[in-house]
Amino acid sequence: MGKIELPKLPYSYDALEPYIDKQTMEIHYTKHHQGYVNNYNNAVTGTPLENKTLEEVFKEVSKHPAAVRNNGGGVWNHSLFWTIMKKNGGGIPSGKLADAINSAFGNFDEFKNKFTNAAATRFGSGWAWLIVQNGKLAVTSTPNQDNPIMDVAEQKGIPILGLDVWEHAYYLKYQNRRPEYIENWWNVVNWDEVASRFNSIK
Ligand code: MN3
């Protein structure tokens, strides 16, 4: 597939204000995400991985150098992250996704509590995820830039929602108050995109 390119941000840097501030969004996208793209390309150029998709690489990521795992994950995770947020997001999902959430967790609030807890208790840097495993939903988290597609993940599945809890995602606005960042983030979740990802899996 050749060189990975930074995907276009689907909204302006200030679109998710006041929950995610403009400066954080700009630095996160132009420095962090771009950095993962550049470093991944540097790590795979001239190797057999150059022509593989990220998903193919993740299935055997334990065999590859740390730069491939960390930067490849950084590329994929942020590419998902931007799409599952939008201006005037939030609320609760409907349709088949809502049914699947109720079936897996009891109700939306139980799901939200479980996901919030996974994000809040992930020690250090990492991500919280809503994943699809054999057609069923589950909540999990991963350290650093790992994700549940990777062979190294404790709990594997296909992520349809992810929350970045690295300090770079919230520190300028929230400093050490990760729980406040998580609580506010629910106001920008793009449930249409999450549902679309869910519906495309089965
Ligand atoms: Mn990040």
In this predicted structure, the answer to whether residue 76 has a pLDDT above a threshold of 90 is: yes
What is the reported pTM? Answer: 0.97
CA-CA distances (angstroms) from residue 45 to 4, 54, 74, 97, 107?
10, 13, 17, 39, 46
Locate tokens 């679309």: which residue?
Answer: 196
In this predicted structure, the answer to whether residue 35 has a pLDDT above a threshold of 70 is: yes
Q: How many residues does the chain have?
A: 202
Distance 165 CA to ligand 1 centre (A): 7
pLDDT score recorded for residue 195 = 98
Averaged pLDDT, 132-149: 97
Distance 18 CA to ligand 1 centre (A): 18
Locate tokens 């200030």: which residue?
Answer: 14
**Residue 169 pLDDT grade (very low, low, confident, very high; cuts 50, 70, 90):** very high
Classify residue 48 by its DSSP letter: G
Distance 28 CA to ligand 1 centre (A): 6
Question: In the chain, where does DSSP find H-type helix?
Answer: 22-27, 34-44, 54-58, 66-83, 95-105, 108-121, 171-174, 178-185, 191-201
Neighbours of 118 (CB within 10 A): 21
Distance 43 CA to ligand 1 centre (A): 19
In this predicted structure, the answer to whether residue 176 has a pLDDT above a threshold of 90 is: yes
pLDDT score recorded for residue 91 = 97
Distance 99 CA to ligand 1 centre (A): 30
Helix 108-121 and helix 95-105, axial crossing angle in degrees, nearest 10: 70
Task: Report percent pLDDT > 90 for the chain.
Answer: 98
Averaged pLDDT, 174-186: 98
pLDDT score recorded for residue 95 = 96
Task: Report percent pLDDT > 70 for the chain.
Answer: 99
Query: Which residues partner with 138 through β-bridges?
Result: 131
- The residue type found at 93 is P
Distance 161 CA to ligand 1 centre (A): 14
Q: Distance (Å, rounded) from C-alpha 157 to C-alpha 7? A: 23
The pair of structure tokens assigned to 110 is 């139980």
Q: Please, which residues have CB within 8 angstroms of residue 22's CB and are 6 or more apart in sequence?
A: 13, 14
**Residue 188 pLDDT grade (very low, low, confident, very high; cuts 50, 70, 90):** very high
pLDDT score recorded for residue 120 = 98
**Residue 42 pLDDT grade (very low, low, confident, very high; cuts 50, 70, 90):** very high
pLDDT score recorded for residue 2 = 59
pLDDT score recorded for residue 202 = 64
Averaged pLDDT, 94-105: 97
Q: Which residues crowd ion ligand 1, with CB under 5 Å? A: 164, 166, 169
The pair of structure tokens assigned to 107 is 């109700």
Averaged pLDDT, 59-75: 98
pLDDT score recorded for residue 29 = 98
C-alpha atoms less than 13 angstroms from C-alpha of 171 in its C-beta half-sphere: 7
